[in-house]
Amino acid sequence: MLLCGCFCVENMIEFFQMDQVTRSGKDRRQNSGMSWNHRINPEADAAKRSRRFARVLLAGIILLCMILPAAAGAEVNAAAYYKVETLKPAKTYKIDLNGGKKEKVRYKLKNKTDGRQSFKLYVNGKCVYKKTFSPLRQYARVASVKYLDIKRSDQYKELMLDLDGDQSNNGVMVLRYYSKNKIKVYESGKNEGLLDRTDSAGIQNTGKNKFFLNQDTPFPNETFGCYYARMPFKLKGSMIAKKNASKYRLMKVSDYTPGVFGTPYYVLARKMGLYETDSMNVVARHCYAGTKFTPVWIKVLDGETVSYGSDPYTRYNLLVNVTLSTGESGWLYFPAFKQGDDYLTAVPAWG
């Protein structure tokens, strides 16, 4: 295919060159009286072959320049995330849960007068799982149920429940159906709180036991404040376990504070060095109070644990990749604990 393309492009080049040669040659012959039936000598024939090879080589280079960007784009598209379907309550779906024939799946929600909510999952008409959520506990109700294939190399599919609690205390749990007598539950409550303040809105599923969820401030920091990060997770044992990464993508400010703060920017309250890379070797420039930026990535350096009464808590030193309002980009360092004056005067988040 590439060879054919080369000759197509080469023939186009040759056509235009022959047209130019024919015109100039004809003019010369008309002026000198030379016959059109002149014979080319061997040296001229060799020169022509050399020029033809050069044209083919040039055509190949041009064609490669055209193909490679398209191929790169195709590779990105091929890496698209797998579909996640949201299921509505009290509606029956014919879907495959365990690699056999399709099951009839539905779930029911019932709000009780005391504020509790009951959730029941039915497969082929039989209730295979039920749970009652209470406003007196961390999670009060089921906000949505999603159907997805977390690990495409096995035969099982999963149901992911979004749980709403008080204020912004959201959580996620996963159900895997093996048979009418066996269902496995991956609960955030068994995950040492890793999935607290987490939801599956905009979930991205790779199909390789790795999926991304929105998590509220997974690495607390007193100088940078609150944020939403796209955190990678996997199913491990009976838990939804967090996967480590070298850096974590932050959601756009507009995604979680639409129209509330009137600005898409964070604003510095003090002078800070803007590092060229996350190695922190070179300061590209200094940013001063009033500098506006949007955060893009965070890199977790280390954590510091202190005791507050009888409860120890950890804060993390963060490197934040930012884009300034001027278009420049780099990394800002935010220490785990506040020391002296504030680092930010405007934080378009919640603290």
User: Which residue ranges make up each domain of the chain?
Assistant: 1-22+45-80, 85-216, 255-346
pLDDT computed for residue 202 by the predictor: 79
pLDDT of 178 above 50 = yes
- Is 23 buried (19+), middle (13-18) or exposed (0-12) by CB count in 10 A? exposed
Q: What pLDDT score was predicted for residue 57?
A: 63
Range with the largest mean pLDDT of 23-37, 181-195, 271-285? 271-285
Binned at pLDDT 50, 70 and 90, residue 23 comes out as very low
Phi, psi (5° rounding) for residue 223?
-95, -20
Distances (CA, A) of 53 to 48, 67, 129, 205, 321: 9, 21, 72, 49, 49
Residue 153: Cβ-neighbour burial (10 angstroms; 0-12, 13-18, 19+):
exposed
DSSP-assigned letters across all residues of 104-141? EEEEEEEE-TTS-EEEEEEETTEEEEEEEE-TTSSEEE
Fold of 255-346: SH3 type barrels. (2.30.30)
Tokens encoding 233: 């997770």
Among 2-11, 233-242, 259-268, the minimum mean pLDDT is found in: 2-11
Does position 67 have pLDDT exceeding 60, yes or no? no
> In this predicted structure, what is the pLDDT of residue 44?
57
pLDDT of residue 58: 61
Q: Structure tokens of 128?
A: 């295979």
* Higher per-residue pLDDT: 5 or 212: 212
Whether residue 193 has pLDDT greater than 60: no
pLDDT above 60: residue 114: yes
Confirm if 262 and 272 have CB atoms less than 8 A apart. no
Beta bridge partners of 330: 322
> Phi and psi dihedrals of 138, rounded to 5?
-70, -40
Q: Kindly give, in sequence order, each residue whose CB lies less than 8 Å from that of residue 262, ignoring residues fewer than 6 positions away.
A: none
Transcribe 272-316 into DSSP letters: EEEESSTT---EEEEE-TT-EEEEEEEEEEEEEEEEETTEEEEEE
- Tell whether the model's pLDDT for residue 34 goes beyond 50: no
Structure confidence at residue 135 (pLDDT): 72
Q: Which residues contact 307 (CB under 8 A, 6 or more apart)?
A: none
Q: Give the C-alpha separation, 316 to 223, whole Å.
A: 10
Q: Is the domain 85-216 a CATH 1.10.286 member?
A: no
Q: What's the N-to-C CA distance of the chain in angstroms?
A: 58
